[in-house]
């Protein structure tokens, strides 16, 4: 994996869940979250790994709930909130579930306890956040991809980061194996897209507990 990490630096991961899912899907692989955590634990002193996602709260059971529960019990700090439904100007029903504010607040509050922020998102709205954190003396690495079509990372965010880590370069270390993918139960779950609309999301945490 490209990217500079130092043994004694304090590192935290901030994962925009739906953005990372979309990027990995565009590259054709599923993420093994246990392996992802291990990669960064081996790189430095991992202080926290935050995972952000919005939930459709009017469903009796959400298929993404097992993933959330698994992450919560296996080293991730979960940050969730209910989605909001609205109708746009054309009369289309849409779901809004943006987690940008929650992520930005956590990064700023944690800044004094960290040396290196690893942001898993390609959202250009985070450029100013990255700049603010850098002014406090922290290094920021952005994990996303330019190899999808179209690229998943905004050019201004990639340029602002101290380092850009191409997600496809991580695939060999963090992708689920073909045998694990075959055990995934059928049926998509609903997870909000960073742009505000719902998008299919299927992920089986049980394949990562072995």
Domain range annotation of the chain: 10-208
Residues in the chain with pLDDT values less than 50: 60, 182-210
Q: Residues 27, 30, 32, 33: what is their CA dihedral angle, to the nearest 10 degrees?
A: 80
Q: What is the pLDDT of residue 90?
A: 74
Q: Residues near 155 by Cβ (< 8 Å), separated by ≥ 6?
A: 124
Q: What is the pLDDT of residue 62?
A: 62
**Residue written as token pair 């040396």:** 115
Structure tokens at 174: 């963090």
Q: What is the pLDDT of residue 22?
A: 93
**Three-state DSSP state, 156:** helix
Give the CATH fold of the 10-208 domain.
Answer: Rossmann fold (3.40.50)
Q: List, in sequence order, every residue forming a beta bridge with 81; answer none if it has no partner.
A: 54
Q: What is the pLDDT of residue 155?
A: 97
pTM over 0.85: no
Using one digit for the tens of pLDDT, what is the confidence trace for 143-178? 999 999 999 999 999 999 999 999 999 999 999 986
């Amino acid at each position: 994996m490209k990217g500079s990490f130092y043994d004694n630096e304090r590192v935290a991961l901030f994962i925009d869940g739906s953005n990372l899912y979309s990027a990995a899907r565009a590259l054709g692989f599923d993420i093994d979250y246990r392996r992802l955590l291990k990669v960064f634990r081996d790189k430095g002193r991992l202080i926290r790994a935050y995972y952000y996602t919005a939930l459709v709260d009017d469903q009796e059971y959400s298929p993404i709930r097992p993933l959330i529960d698994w992450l919560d019990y296996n080293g991730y700090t979960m940050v969730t909130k209910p989605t909001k439904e609205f109708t746009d100007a054309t009369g289309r029903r849409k779901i809004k579930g943006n987690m940008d504010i929650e992520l930005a607040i956590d990064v700023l509050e944690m800044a004094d306890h960290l040396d290196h922020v690893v942001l898993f998102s390609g959202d250009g709205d985070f450029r100013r956040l990255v700049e603010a954190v850098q002014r406090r003396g922290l290094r920021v690495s952005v994990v996303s991809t330019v190899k999808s079509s179209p690229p998943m990372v905004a050019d201004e965010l990639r340029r602002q980061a101290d380092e850009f880590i191409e997600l496809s370069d991580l695939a060999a270390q963090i992708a689920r194996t073909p045998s694990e993918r075959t055990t995934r139960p059928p049926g998509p779950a609903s997870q909000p897209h960073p742009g505000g609309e719902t998008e299919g999301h299927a992920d089986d945490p049980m394949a990562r507990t072995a």
